[in-house]
Amino acid sequence: MQRLSRIGMILLVLFLAASASPAENSSLPLVMANDNRTHAGELKNGVLNLRLELRQGRWYPEDEGGGYRDVYAYAEEGHAPQSSGPLIRVPRGTQIHATIHNMLPLPAKIYGLHRHPGDAKRALRLGPGETRELQFLAGEPGTYLYWATTSDKTLVELREDGETMLSGAFVVDAPGTKPDDRIFVLGIWLKDLAHPSTEISSINGKSWPYTEHLTYKLGETTHWRVINPTQSDHAMHLHGFFFTVDGEGDGERYETYREEQRPQAVTEHVESGHVFEMTWTAGRAGNWLFHCHMLTHMLPTNAFAPKEVSATDSSAHDRSMGMAGLVIGITVPPVATPALSAAATRAARKLQLVISDNPGKIPLYDLEVNDPMTPAAPDKKKSASLLGPPIVLTRGEVTEIEVQNHSSDPTVIHWHGLELENYYDGVAGWTGSGQQTTPAIAPGTSFIARMTPTRAGTFIYHTHWHNFEQLLNGLYGPLIVLEPGQTYDPEHDRTFVFSTGRYGPFPLLLLVNGDPQPDPVELHIGTSYRLRFINITVAQAELRVRLNNKGVPAQWKVIAKDGADLPSAQLRISTADMGVSVGETYDVEYRPETAGLADLEIRASPDWPVIQPLKLVDAK
C-alpha cells in the first residue's frame, strides 16, 4: 500500500490541480447536484433575466450521509448553490440581462459571461459583497462554459491553484431548435497539492456510484454535450458503442462539424476549458459505462474509500471494483428476457489469454496468448514483459477468448473498443444484466469472453480492475482485427503501445512496447507501413507523438481512430505530429523516402520523452 500511495501521489501532483477551499462549516447551505436539464433565469420576449450569486456551501459528492466539503459555488438568487453552476441556455439572438453578487469573503474574477465567440482573457472582477450588472447578446450557437476564480490565474494556470466548483454550462441553441440532449459538466476538487488524497472527481456534481444512472431504450439515439471546466485534460471513454463527434470548442468558440467531417470514436480527448458534442445509439442491451480513462479520475479518494470487498462478491458492484469519480452508468433494458445470442453460444475459433505471476520480479504479471491458428515457434522463449502479446482477430468471425487467471490477484479484462455483448465487456459486477453480471476472475479460475468483431481496426485489451498495480505491470496488450482473408504482416504492420510502469530498479517510467529505451525498428525506404499507436498509460492524457527524419518533421496520413476509419474529408497528408490520449488508438500510413535515422518521439510532458529509433534503409 505504501508503494501505491507514492505512485498515486506522483500522478496526482503531475496531472491534477489544486483547489482552495474554506474550512468546513456544517451551518452552510447544501450545494445541490445540477443535472443541467432546466435553464436558470426567466426567458421572455427574447430576453433572459438572470440573477447569479457566488456563495459558500456544503458539497456532498456522494450521498448526504457521507462526507462533505465546504466549497465555493454558483447559485441562482433565491435557490441553493449548485454543482455544476446554474445552466444558462438560450436561443441565438437572446439578449441576456444578468446581475452577479459576490457573497464570498474573497474577491472573484468571472469568465465566460459575455457574447460568444469572445475573448477568453476577458474577466469581470468582483470584490467581496459587490454586485455588478451585465447586458450582452448570447452570440453564435454552440456549447460554452462560464467559470470564476478567487485567484489571478487563468483556467490553464489553475493547474496549480484554483477552485473548480465555480463553473457551469452556457449553451446557445440555433433558432427553432428543440433542446433534446444531455449536458455533463466534469469537475475536480482538490484541497491542496500537499494533500492529493483529497482529490474528488465528479460529473454534474456527483461522484460514482452516486452520479446519475441513465436508461435508454434499445435503438434509442441520444446527443450529449461534455464540458470540461477543470484544470486537467480528460479522456472520455464510452463502453460498447462508437459515437460520432459532432463538434468541439475551447469554451469561447465552437465549431459544429459538417456531417461528412464527423469522426467516430470510443474515446475522446477533451482539454482543460474545452467542450465537445457527441451522438450515439444504444444498439445493444445491458449495463454500460461512460468514464474518464485516466485511472486517477476513477478511483475513490482516501476520504471516501470503500471497505475491502471480496473479489467473488459482485453484488456490491458499485464499490467492490474500486470505481469512483468521473463515471456514469448506462442501462439499456432488453426488449425481451435477456439471453445470449445464438452467435455467442458457438465459436469457430478459440484462444486463451493466460495471466501468471512473475514472483519477485518486475513486472508482477506474465501474459501469454495461446492461439492454435498461429502456433508458437519451437524455439520460442518466454520472457516477462511490461506488455502483453498481440491478439489478432478477424472481422465477422465468432471467437472465444478464455482468460485464465493463474496469478494471485483477481482481475477482469475489458475489450476496449469492441462492439460485443454486454456480459463480455469486462466490468465485474456491472456489465451484463440483473440476471447475469460479469464476474471477477478470481485466482485459479477462468472466464470465456465471446465476441464477433464488427469492424477491422486497432483496439486494446486491458485490465478493468481499478488499481495501479495491474495497469503498471503490463496487464494489457494490442488487439488487432483484420478484414476476412487478410493476413497479419508484422513486417509492414507495426504496433507501438505507450504505457507507464516500473522497469527494473527505476521509478515510474514512460514505455514504448514495454521498454523505456526501445531498440531501433528497421523500415525500408519506398515501402508503405501501417503504424498503429495505442495509449494505455495510467494518466497521460496529453501524450504527443512526433516523427522526425534527420531533425525535420516527417509526413504521414492519419487513416483511423479507435478502430474506425476516418471520414474521407479528413484523409490528407499531414505533419507527423499528433496527440494520442489515454484509451485512444490511431492508425497512420507512413512511407519513408530517404535512408538514415529517424526518431519517433513520444512525449508525456516537456521533461518526460521516450525516443523510438527508426532505421530507414534500402530494401534488400
Among 282, 187, 266, 317, which Cα is nearest to 583's?
Answer: 266
- Residue 447 in contact with residue 439, Cβ under 8 Å? yes
The mean predicted confidence, pLDDT, of the chain is 86
pLDDT greater than 70 at residue 157: no
- Where residue 436 falls among pLDDT bands split at 50, 70, 90? confident
What are the tens digits of pLDDT across the range 86-124? Answer: 999 999 999 999 999 999 999 999 999 999 998 888 899
More reliable by pLDDT, 524 or 379 = 524
Give the pLDDT mean for 553-579: 93
Please give the share of the chain, as a percent, with pLDDT higher than 70. Answer: 85
Does residue 543 sit in helix, strand or coil? coil
What are the tens digits of pLDDT across the range 398-427? Answer: 999 999 999 999 999 999 999 999 999 999
What are the tens digits of pLDDT across the range 174-189? Answer: 988 888 999 999 998 8
DSSP 8-state class, residue 437:
B
**What is the C-alpha separation between 93 and 140, in angstroms, rounded?**
8
Choice among 388-397, 581-590, 611-620 with the minimum mean pLDDT: 611-620
The pLDDT, as a whole number, for residue 20 is 36
The pLDDT, as a whole number, for residue 309 is 38
The pLDDT, as a whole number, for residue 456 is 97
Which residue ranges form the domains of the chain, and what is each CATH number? 2-332 (2.60.40.420), 358-488 (2.60.40.420), 509-617 (2.60.40.420)
User: Rounded to an integer, what is the distance from CA 245 to the centroid of its chain?
Assistant: 14
Verdict on whether the full-model pTM lies above 0.85: yes
The pLDDT, as a whole number, for residue 558 is 96
The pLDDT, as a whole number, for residue 13 is 34
Residue 41 forms beta bridges with which residues?
A: none
pLDDT greater than 60 at residue 342: no
**What is the C-alpha separation between 257 and 247, in angstroms, rounded?**
5
Taking the alpha carbons at both ends of the chain, their separation in whole angstroms is 53
Give the residue carrying C-alpha cell 516537456.
Answer: 606
What are the tens digits of pLDDT across the range 444-464? Answer: 999 999 999 999 999 999 999
Cell numbers at residue 68, please? Answer: 462533505
What are the tens digits of pLDDT across the range 133-148? Answer: 999 999 999 999 999 9
**What is the C-alpha separation between 518 and 520, in angstroms, rounded?**
7
- Where residue 359 falls among pLDDT bands split at 50, 70, 90? confident
The pLDDT, as a whole number, for residue 536 is 96
DSSP run (H or E) holding 404: strand 399-406
pLDDT greater than 50 at residue 303: no
- 513: how many CB neighbours lie within 10 A of its CB? 19
Strands 30-33 and 47-59: parallel
Residue 490 CB burial class (10 angstroms; 0-12, 13-18, ≥19): exposed
The pLDDT, as a whole number, for residue 374 is 64
